[in-house]
Structure 1
Amino acid sequence: MMAQRILVIEDEPAIAETTLYALGTEGFEAVWAATGQAALAMLQSQRFDLAVLDVGLPDVNGFDLFRQIGPQLPVIFLTARSGEIDRIVGLELGADDYVAKPFSPRELCARVRTVLRRVNKPQAVSLTPTASPLSRVFQVDEERKRICFLGVALELSRTEYRLLKVLVGKPGRVFTREELMDKAWEHPEVSLERTVDAHIKMLRAKLRAVQAEPDPIITHRGLGYSLRE
């Protein structure tokens, strides 16, 4: 079985060396990129299963690099800034996990395994049968982790993809914010209910860019959200 490949994007050689060694002893094939530009070049020419991304890179902000990487590759943020604001920003962008320095290499390896298990686990949520009118409005491409709205592919973060996929899977069903966090976030315990509202707002903006009216997502005040049937 081919080893899972991890891209470590970290500018401090000592931290990178320790991380590469720890991942290697756990059976992963770990590759190091010291800058954001080097990482982007590797991603264009090589296959990776997950990236460990330092927020404080010398040539680019890690959050900006994450947006360039796109939703297809799972990402664990690595940072010296452990404040709640930084953690929430990273997770709201759609990162799969967040580890603060100094960190235990064994803990990082455990988190890498957890994220990879979750990403590779078959999804229970699926679209309604193709005969349904809704299937002509939304199409979920599981392999590419992409959702099309009226034939237009939406540019979604990983969290936005999971959130919209949950709503599309059961149109008309009202999901509470807590339910959406449980289904769409890797670590719902560190998220806030307002984070769901923020992602719904971003989803609505992207849907309106394709078709202004009607709004496919319905707000149920005091309850949660549903997808219009």
Structure 2
Amino acid sequence: MTRRTFHMDRILIAESNTELASQLRGVFADANNYPMSCDTIKKTRTMLECEEWALVLVDEKMTDGSGLDLLEYISEGIIVIMILAEDTKLNEDGLRGYGVADYIKKPFNPIVLKAKVGTQLQKKHTRFDDGSSARFDALGVAFPEFMVGDKTVYIDKYEFDFDHKEYKYKEKNIMLGDLEQCLLKLLVENRGVVLKKNTLMERLNAELGKEIDGDILAETVQVLMQKLHAFRYIKTIFGIGYMWTAYKDM
């Protein structure tokens, strides 16, 4: 007989509209959920550091800044659902790059939002109950065809053979240093994913046995972009990290 697991989920609501926040707390408060709310980014960051959360609802427009600024401080494994402004310029592809699981646009029915939250939490519990392992600390979901194991990767006019350390652009060989090669491999293997700066530095330190700080990382990203003419592909996500964009291969 299959054992059924029950979960009490802590939900953090980052919402500057106190009336809406109160309404959402009432909607989510039941035997399975424990909601709390914060009306500023600063308070939300404090709660993220002090408590463990299953899911965070983040309003795009907080009184003290953009809700996107919070994403850097949300630990891997916590579900994020964005509450978007009616006149938002963000789209589904952009949110996916930030690792946002789902979103809802104002004005909205709180019951619809509760259903979205319930769906995401159910997915989370199913993964954990099945013994699934945690993924690399990044924002988003990597494209499987670019994960470790592919001998050569082809993207547009690029050809990357990581096994033999051979890299080409428009059929011309590109010479890359060890740090540049390691960074490129991490970016390409996680195509379409924003890789956090701290995680990249830790991985590069471990791979190369060298102390890589934020300045060295930023400089290496710029050098890599120039050598590969990859300004279209390598993007800096301000305050969070870097990514190789998910353009369709031609």
Give the TM-score, by structure 2 length. Answer: 0.54
Give the corresponding residue for 1:194.
none
Whether the 8 Å CA contact 2:8–2:33 is kept in 1: the answer is yes
Whether the 8 Å CA contact 1:63–1:90 is kept in 2: the answer is no
Deviation, 1:10, is 0.1
- Aligned counterpart for 1:76 among listed residues 76, 81, 88: 81
CA distance in 2, matches of 1:27, 1:9: 20
Deviation, 1:99, is 0.6
Give the corresponding residue for 1:108.
113
- Aligned counterpart for 2:11 among listed residues 6, 15, 18: 6
| SS of residue in 2 equivalent to 1:122 | helix
| SS of residue in 2 equivalent to 1:51 | strand
Whether the 8 Å CA contact 1:11–1:57 is kept in 2: the answer is yes
Give the alignment's Cα RMSD to 1 decimal: 4.0
CA distance in 2, matches of 1:173, 1:26: 50
Whether the 8 Å CA contact 2:9–2:34 is kept in 1: the answer is yes
Comparing 112-121 with 102-111, which one deviates more in the overlay? 112-121
CA distance in 1, matches of 2:79, 2:107: 22
Larger helix fraction of residues: 1
- Aligned counterpart for 1:30 among listed residues 16, 28, 35: 35
Deviation, 1:113, is 1.0
**Cα offsets for 1:44-73 (capped at 9, x unmatched):** 111110001001011121112112224331
Identity value in percent: 19
Could you list the runs of 5+ residues in structure 1 that have no partner in the other structure?
Answer: 127-140, 147-154, 175-196, 223-229
For the structure 1 residues 201 and 20, does the alpha-carbon distance in structure 2 shift closer, same or farther, using more than 3 Å as the test? closer
Could you list the runs of 5+ residues in structure 2 that have no partner in the other structure?
Answer: 1-5, 153-187, 209-219, 225-243
CA distance in 1, matches of 2:124, 2:8: 16
For the structure 1 residues 34 and 142, does the alpha-carbon distance in structure 2 shift closer, same or farther, using more than 3 Å as the test? same
Give the corresponding residue for 1:19.
24
Deviation, 1:117, is 1.7
CA distance in 1, matches of 2:7, 2:73: 27
Deviation, 1:106, is 0.9
Deviation, 1:86, is 4.1
For the structure 1 residues 90 and 108, does the alpha-carbon distance in structure 2 shift closer, same or farther, using more than 3 Å as the test? same
Give the TM-score, by structure 1 length. Answer: 0.59
Map 1:60-75 onto structure 2 (within 5 A).
60-75=65-80
| SS of residue in 1 equivalent to 2:62 | coil
